[in-house]
Chains A and B, each alone.
Chain A
Amino acid sequence: MTQPFRIATAGRLGKADPVRFTFDGKSFEGLTGDTLASALLANGVHLVGRSFKYHRPRGMVSAGAEEPNALVGIHRDAARRAPNVRATVQEIYEGLNAVSQNRWPSLSFDIGALNDLASPFFSAGFYYKTFMWPKAAWERVYEPFIRRAAGLGEAPDRPDPDCYANRFAHCDVLVIGGGAAGLSAALAAADTGARVILADEQAETGGALRYETGAMIDGKPGWDWAQAVAADLVSRENVRLLTRTTGFGYYAQNMVGLVERLTDHLASPAQDQPRERLWQVRARRVVLATGAIERHMVFPDNDRPGIMLASAARTYLNHYGVAVGRNVAVYTAEDSAWYAAIDLKRAGVAIAAIVDCRPDPQGPHVEEAQRLGIECLTGHAVNGTGGRLRVSSIKVGPISGGAERSISCDALLTSSGWTPAVHLFSQSRGKLAFDAETQRFLPGQTVQELVSIGACAGSVDLEETVADALKAGHEAAGASGNPPKLSSNSTERWSGGMLGAGEGAGAESTAKAFVDFQNDVTAKDIRQAVREGMRSIEHVKRFTTTGMATDQGKTSNMHGLAIAAEMLDRPIPDVGLTTFRAPYTPVTFGALVGHGKGRLFEPVRRTPMHDWAAAHGAVFEDVGQWKRAWYFPKPGEDMHAAVARECRTVRQSAGIFDATTLGKIEVVGPDAARFMELMYTNPWQKLGVGRCRYGVMLREDGFIYDDGVVGRLAEDRFHVTTTTGGAPRVLNHMEDYLQTEFPDLKVYLTSTSEQWAVIAVQGPKSRDIIAPLVEGIDLSDEAMPHMSVREGMICGVPTRLFRMSFTGERGFEINVPADYGCAVWEAVWAEGEKHGACAYGTETMHVLRAEKGFIIVGQETDGTVTPHDAGLSWAIGKKKTDFVGMRGLMRPDLVAPGRKQLVGLRTRDPKTVLEEGAQIVADPQAPVPVPMLGHVTSSYWSENCGHSIALALVAGGHERMGETLYVPMPDGVIEVEVTSTVFFDEKGERTNG
């Protein structure tokens, strides 16, 4: 018989379609609408997992998101293997494949259960005490052991093939939780016309109305009312109702994170349908209607499969039509658990007994239980349980003392009361207040625009809850006047409860009375933590790991706190409450990453000439977000050969280079030159219109920040270039100073980095190449000398033509509006081919500038290099009275002798190419630690020089010309000679060559 525990007359799934699924390879049948937990229970399966530390058999504890035990793996395919899925949340679909975790070789026979016998060894603080010494054991023994033991489940080992979506949303009222309170609040808010978002973690709204049978709202049974309201809300334009959506994080200024599960319940989701959607909601007001979470009773061996929360058993019966056993006992300290027994008895399930530790509970539920002929043992406690893979009996005795008796049962429902779910309230930085009378932490002072209603605010009365919720929703929407009214009442009572350990788990007990099921923390462990000196709950938590599992102690924290408080003999609020942090329940990395993976991980920026370069065989390198052509290998060439050829060709004929990625800033205004004087070390006032200058920018501390060639286009207009990587920060740096230090200057800054495509043409033939294309500019040396800029036309489009050189050759940089870049490049290329020119990439650019000793900021500099160190003293305006970094440059350390200075290095063996970053020493035989003089910043094979070249920062380098130094490497010491930084054309004649 399939689903032997399904009761046809109970629940709401009715004649739903059967669904087949497997658990640990065994095939089962459930119904559409089941969770994995309800479907397994319908088949009589309680045992679903092994506990973390002791590997004790465990079953479903709850029917919701708070579940500590029933964690399984859901394996859709080889790549989609989700670990630690709560069986109580996972909806079943045709073909669902679930596997248990933390057991070997099988769930019913698990070798790891030996830990249970060795439990004295695994006491609280085990890790801290055991893994202390010897030190060497850490790497080989302890860490692998901890890593293997840490965490349940197995992470998938393949990339996640699913996609995830992200959505920002704004609303007037965000309601978290769709029970009686949340629905009422959303309804009242929606009635005002406000924009409302209602999020509920379940597949259907309704909250506790799912199992509470005594509730009537607006003349309808609670559940029916909830479904009608949900349908009404969905139909409204101003409401967005999100089911399967968890409000997991409450951030500043009412930013709330929601995660919506879109496909985890579907048998075959569409290929491109997102699995989850992250909602980042900015709400004017938030209404928290997150309900309360039932606590279990803490007593010896309270963790056997079949022992679960009373509300869970009611949910399985009243919603899913599943009896959690055939002979069920109840152990409680409060009223609502009685209704579980009443409901089950009415459905035809035998009730072994109701055990209530209170001496004399009163009320209609007590009378009803008695009327139904249920044995009610008040003033009694459950002192132990029997059974191995399932509870089979309980030991019950009067609290006042007296004989114990054993009662047979196949399920035990427990409840010690309800903990208001104040997680999001606390995350909002609201202050919790302890209500001594009801022993609960309730929302106190609020910090953000929010209101808590219903059970999470401590209400135990439906009528009060609904009235409060309608008022809260109405007011949250900013409406005045009277809130709407709804008739409501419930015959059920939710009062009573206790915190901490029950009878039989007292201070003298050595029994395993579990507080935290998932992390296997017992009442004894918490007492031991206090005995060993832990005073704050934060220490107790970390020492015992209570509340630190994936369920974050939703069912256990209050018990742990109460036991600690009792041991310390201090009131609960004095011992404190651990901090609630996001996320409320686990959130996948996929949801947080959203669209930002693969091609959308980071913008990939390409220049207008990118496709041309790709078509001509360029190999690209990443420079920040940019793709830059690195070198252009011809068939058969490796990088070395290609770069050697490119370097040769540029100096013999010409080369064409894409310099588009350089940052560009237009500095405009009557005070533009004054501003430039302040931002750069160089003088600018006297730079003529149409002339260029190499500028050096410092930070306040005197160190080089950026550099670049600047052209003066007009008295009040400069075209500034920056390094590729420096473009955004240099503009920000300039804006900062302009707005905060020099606000009186009449000047504006505009980024033009992407306005201009830049084609560098470098080499003796460069002028011949561009001349046929240029109109309106006299390219003669007299009319347009080195370091000048002209505006004119090229190929019929406007250009800012710079005569400048980063190679030491005669050179031009053609700036054209970006959309024309590729066409102009092709025209230049066609002319260049006539002269034997080549296209070259960033590697050749690096070599050619190093041959000339030109620095690259970020390569020769590292944030500790001054212009003097870099050999750029000439770039500092001697007569200037102020610029950013001027005072920094006067600091004693920056003018002290022996600073690291930029020099050239030549290896004794001209073929040896040094390694960039290699250290330089004076005497390789010196005793360790050998004093380091500096390091190699750039190093290349120079085809044009016929030997290797290197630049290096060396202590006192400028005084060491001709000295022999050493570069110790793993395979030998390399001898080098300190030289000038200029290796090629020392007189600089080739710029006009």
Chain B
Amino acid sequence: MADTIARANALEGRFLNDEGITLVRAEPSTRLSLRAPKTAVKSLSKALGLDLPQRPKASTAKDGRVALWLGPDEWLVIDETEADLVGVCASVTAFHSAVEVSHRNTAVLVSGPRCETVLNAGCPQDLSLVAFPVGACSRTVFGKAEIVLWRTGSDAFRVECWRSFSDYVFMLLEQAARDR
């Protein structure tokens, strides 16, 4: 029997540190695509140990775990400690759908004073702190790729995308970073 295999990140070795902008791949995380009607929100929140946000663009983060609001009955839950999120939700009997998507996505951490303008090269949303404050999140587009954008700091975003789109997303970020 082979030894336990380490995760191979699709963005292994990719990095950019330019004037006012840093691009770095996120550490491996577990992820859950959570779908649930209102009736299950309370018990799921309890199981996950955080209140599932109920407003558009809202997120709730706690102890390395975050729930991002994607739709009225849809959340992306990310756990940076690689906790077993499917297992956590298994105890909830109320109707819901918890699907393991840890490896479906990968993420780029975009930070630095230029992060808004670099992202606005491909993302049509208003990313000013007023319209997109720290903690805001959205499923949106970056160029021709779908992304989930989460603002982790005034100068920091996490860009989640599907694994095979990560090369495109990273290249477009690099290209946008050249436009000073």
A interface residues with partner B (beta carbon < 8 Å): 163, 165-170, 195, 272-274, 277, 280, 282, 595-596, 599-600, 602-608, 625-626, 666, 668-670, 746-748, 750-756, 773, 775, 795-797, 817-824, 827
A-B contact pairs, 18 of them (CB 8 A): A167-B121, A167-B179, A168-B122, A168-B123, A169-B120, A273-B180, A280-B124, A595-B143, A595-B175, A596-B143, A600-B171, A606-B167, A668-B35, A748-B96, A752-B104, A754-B163, A823-B2, A824-B5
Contact residues in A for B180 (Cβ distance below 8 Å): 273
B45 in contact (CB, < 8 A) = no
B51 in contact (CB, < 8 A) = no
Partner of B8, one of A167, A625, A823: A823
Q: Are A600 and B3 in contact (CB under 8 A)?
A: no
Bound CA span A795–B1, Å = 6
Residue pairs across A and B with CB atoms within 8 Å: the count is 141
Q: Are A669 and B103 in contact (CB under 8 A)?
A: no
Contact residues in B for A606 (Cβ distance below 8 Å): 164, 167
Bound CA span A70–B8, Å = 59
B144 in contact (CB, < 8 A) = yes
Contact residues in A for B3 (Cβ distance below 8 Å): 796
Partner of A600, one of B10, B123, B163, B175: B175
Taking CB as reference atom, which chain A residue is nearest B117? Answer: A167
Bound CA span A820–B8, Å = 6
Q: Are A599 and B171 in contact (CB under 8 A)?
A: yes
Q: Are A595 and B176 in contact (CB under 8 A)?
A: yes
Partner of B5, one of A604, A625, A626, A795: A795
Given contacts A668-B35, A748-B73, 13 further A-B contacts (CB under 8 A): A163-B175, A168-B123, A170-B126, A170-B128, A595-B122, A600-B171, A602-B144, A608-B8, A750-B97, A754-B104, A797-B5, A817-B103, A819-B9
A595-B143, A600-B143, A820-B7 known; A750 and B95 CB under 8 Å?
no
B111 in contact (CB, < 8 A) = no
Bound CA span A756–B121, Å = 31
Bound CA span A274–B179, Å = 7
Interface size on B, residues (CB 8 A): 51
Question: Which positions 150-180 of chain B face chain A at CB distance < 8 Å?
Answer: 162-165, 167-168, 171-172, 175-176, 178-180
Q: Are A819 and B128 in contact (CB under 8 A)?
A: no
Q: Are B164 and A600 in contact (CB under 8 A)?
A: no
Q: Mark B27-57, 1 if CB is under 8 A from A, else 0.
A: 0100001010000000000000000000000
Q: Are A605 and B103 in contact (CB under 8 A)?
A: no
B60 in contact (CB, < 8 A) = no
Partner of B120, one of A168, A625, A773, A827: A168
Q: Are A796 and B121 in contact (CB under 8 A)?
A: no
How far, in Å, is B175 (CB) from chain A's closest CB? 5
Q: Are B35 and A168 in contact (CB under 8 A)?
A: no
Closest 3 CB pairs of A and B: A748-B97, A605-B164, A603-B168
B interface residues with partner A (beta carbon < 8 Å): 1-10, 28, 33, 35, 73, 95-105, 117, 120-126, 128, 131, 143-145, 162-165, 167-168, 171-172, 175-176, 178-180
Contact residues in A for B175 (Cβ distance below 8 Å): 163, 595, 600
How far, in Å, is A259 (CB) from chain B's closest CB? 14
Q: Are B167 and A604 in contact (CB under 8 A)?
A: yes
Taking CB as reference atom, which chain A residue is nearest B98? Answer: A668
Bound CA span A747–B36, Å = 10
A604-B167, A750-B35, A819-B28 known; A166 and B104 CB under 8 Å?
no
Q: Are A795 and B162 in contact (CB under 8 A)?
A: no
How far, in Å, is A756 (CB) from chain B's closest CB? 8
| Among B117, B167, B175, residue most surrounded by chain A Cβ atoms (within 10 Å) | B175
Contact residues in B for A670 (Cβ distance below 8 Å): 95
Partner of A166, one of B2, B122, B162: B122
Q: Are B95 and A595 in contact (CB under 8 A)?
A: no
Contact residues in B for A277 (Cβ distance below 8 Å): 179
How far, in Å, is B44 (CB) from chain A's closest CB? 13
Bound CA span A607–B165, Å = 10
Contact residues in B for A755 (Cβ distance below 8 Å): 100-104
Bound CA span A625–B145, Å = 11
How far, in Å, is A284 (CB) from chain B's closest CB? 10
Contact residues in A for B123 (Cβ distance below 8 Å): 168
How far, in Å, is B27 (CB) from chain A's closest CB? 12
Contact residues in A for B95 (Cβ distance below 8 Å): 669-670, 746
Contact residues in A for B125 (Cβ distance below 8 Å): 168
Q: Are B2 and A796 in contact (CB under 8 A)?
A: yes
Taking CB as reference atom, which chain A residue is nearest B123? Answer: A168
Contact residues in A for B9 (Cβ distance below 8 Å): 819
Partner of B126, one of A167, A282, A607: A282
Contact residues in A for B165 (Cβ distance below 8 Å): 603, 605
Taking CB as reference atom, which chain B residue is nearest A819? Answer: B7
Bound CA span A746–B35, Å = 11
Contact residues in B for A170 (Cβ distance below 8 Å): 126, 128, 131
| Among B98, B171, B179, residue most surrounded by chain A Cβ atoms (within 10 Å) | B179
Contact residues in A for B167 (Cβ distance below 8 Å): 603-604, 606
Q: Are B178 and A750 in contact (CB under 8 A)?
A: no
Contact residues in A for B1 (Cβ distance below 8 Å): 773, 775, 795-796
Bound CA span A818–B98, Å = 18
Bound CA span A625–B143, Å = 15
Q: Are A167 and B120 in contact (CB under 8 A)?
A: yes
Bound CA span A169–B150, Å = 18
How far, in Å, is B117 (CB) from chain A's closest CB? 7
Bound CA span A666–B32, Å = 13
Bound CA span A215–B35, Å = 65
How far, in Å, is B81 (CB) from chain A's closest CB? 17
Taking CB as reference atom, which chain A residue is nearest B163? Answer: A754
Q: Are A795 and B143 in contact (CB under 8 A)?
A: no
Bound CA span A595–B171, Å = 10
How far, in Å, is A243 (CB) from chain B's closest CB? 17
Bound CA span A190–B144, Å = 34
How far, in Å, is B22 (CB) from chain A's closest CB? 18
A608-B10, A820-B5 known; A600 and B121 CB under 8 Å?
no
Q: Are B168 and A166 in contact (CB under 8 A)?
A: no
Bound CA span A824–B10, Å = 16
| Among A606, A626, A819, A824, residue most surrounded by chain B Cβ atoms (within 10 Å) | A819
Contact residues in B for A168 (Cβ distance below 8 Å): 120-125
Contact residues in B for A599 (Cβ distance below 8 Å): 171
Contact residues in A for B35 (Cβ distance below 8 Å): 668, 748, 750
Q: Are A595 and B163 in contact (CB under 8 A)?
A: no
A195-B128, A820-B8 known; A604 and B101 CB under 8 Å?
no
Bound CA span A668–B117, Å = 39
Bound CA span A390–B6, Å = 79
Bound CA span A602–B168, Å = 8
Taking CB as reference atom, which chain A residue is nearest B100? Answer: A755
Q: Are A818 and B179 in contact (CB under 8 A)?
A: no
| Among A170, A773, A796, A827, residue most surrounded by chain B Cβ atoms (within 10 Å) | A170
